[in-house]
Amino acid sequence: MGSLLQKTRAMNRLIQKTAGQPVDFWEMARVLARLTETRFWIIGRRGKLLGWSDATGSGVNPLEAYIEADGHLQDALNEQFLNYNRTEITAGGQEGWVRAIVPVFGGGDRLGTLICEKEGQEFTDDDLILAEYAATITGIEIMRLKNERLEKDTRDRVAIQTAMEVLSYSEIEALRFIFRDLAGEEGFVVASKLAEKYHLTRSVIVNALRKLESARVIDSRSLGMKGTYIKVLNPYLLDYLRLHDPMEAEEE
């Protein structure tokens, strides 16, 4: 299948191809399975199956029976894999197969597990070096994704705070009533009915929605007699309204 240098270059090409974009773990599993001639799985720390491929021609996924409907491994099996803190060779999922379990670390934390299996032969040093290289890449990528989520989370929180600062008290109050009636992150509201029900002016409702849309916190579209369709784009909007809702505070 080529030298270790050739295989490493194949891995590097995969990384370079996705430069600036999230690594496709399914493609990574496919490339690694082919390079090591194994069945190959990439599993997240909570047991999510991030990628899997079979280059052995077996047509069998021995972990399939342990994968729940949500795409996660059963907790007991995932915990078993997480107990391995270094690369270990064990019996495979079928008789005559050998399994390598490679932990994925990043920032000092356990981030997942790589698993590869082959039939009738031991793993070579080159196989294990390549798998551990892949574990390093996987750890770096998962850390990058986590940092991006944290950055987005911070941006979303700041955006909500900024948007609310330009709203009047009556507009914030109108938003509480709107989303209390909406009972979710999207749906239809009729401004005239809300105004009558909660003793608000229609202009306050319209202005509040317009300001949130300008801040890209919501998407709203007027549908004539049907009312206005609203979709929340920033998940922290509802949290903010609940946190600053006197009625919610009284219930607590």
Identify whether residues 129 and 210 lie together within a single domain. Answer: no
Pick out the chain residues at pLDDT < 70. 1-2, 18-20, 244-252
Identify whether residues 96 and 174 lie together within a single domain. Answer: no
Reported as a single tens digit per residue, the pLDDT across 120-167 is 888 888 889 989 998 998 898 889 888 988 999 999 999 999 999 999
Identify whether residues 39 and 106 lie together within a single domain. Answer: yes
What total number of domains does the chain contain?
2
Residue 58 domain-assigned (yes or no): yes
Of 100, 134, 156, the one marking the end of a domain is 156
Identify whether residues 142 and 236 lie together within a single domain. Answer: no
Tell how strand 186-189 and strand 228-232 pair up. Answer: antiparallel
Identify whether residues 149 and 178 lie together within a single domain. Answer: no
Identify whether residues 38 and 69 lie together within a single domain. Answer: yes
Residue 177 belongs to domain with CATH number: 1.10.10.10
Identify whether residues 184 and 111 lie together within a single domain. Answer: no
Identify whether residues 146 and 182 lie together within a single domain. Answer: no
Token look-up 């039939």 returns: 119
The residues facing 91 across adjacent strands are 98
CA gap 211, 234 in Å, rounded: 14
pLDDT of residue 183: 76
3-class SS string, the chain: CCCHHHHHHHHHHHHHHCCCCCCCHHHHHHHHHHHHCCEEEEEECCCEEEEEEECCCCCCCCCHHHECCCCEECHHHHHHHHCCCCCEEEECCCCCEEEEEEEEEECCEEEEEEEEEEECCCCCHHHHHHHHHHHHHHHHHHHHHHHHHHHHHHHHHHHHHHHHHCCCHHHHHHHHHHHHHHCCCEEEECHHHHHHHHCCCHHHHHHHHHHHHHCCCEEEEECHHHCEEEEECCCHHHHHHHHCCHHHHHHC
Identify whether residues 78 and 138 lie together within a single domain. Answer: yes
Residue 161 domain-assigned (yes or no): no
Which residues form the domain of 182?
166-251
Identify whether residues 137 and 18 lie together within a single domain. Answer: yes
- What is the percentage of the chain residues whose pLDDT exceeds 70? 94
Reported as a single tens digit per residue, the pLDDT across 161-192 is 999 999 999 999 999 999 888 878 888 888 88
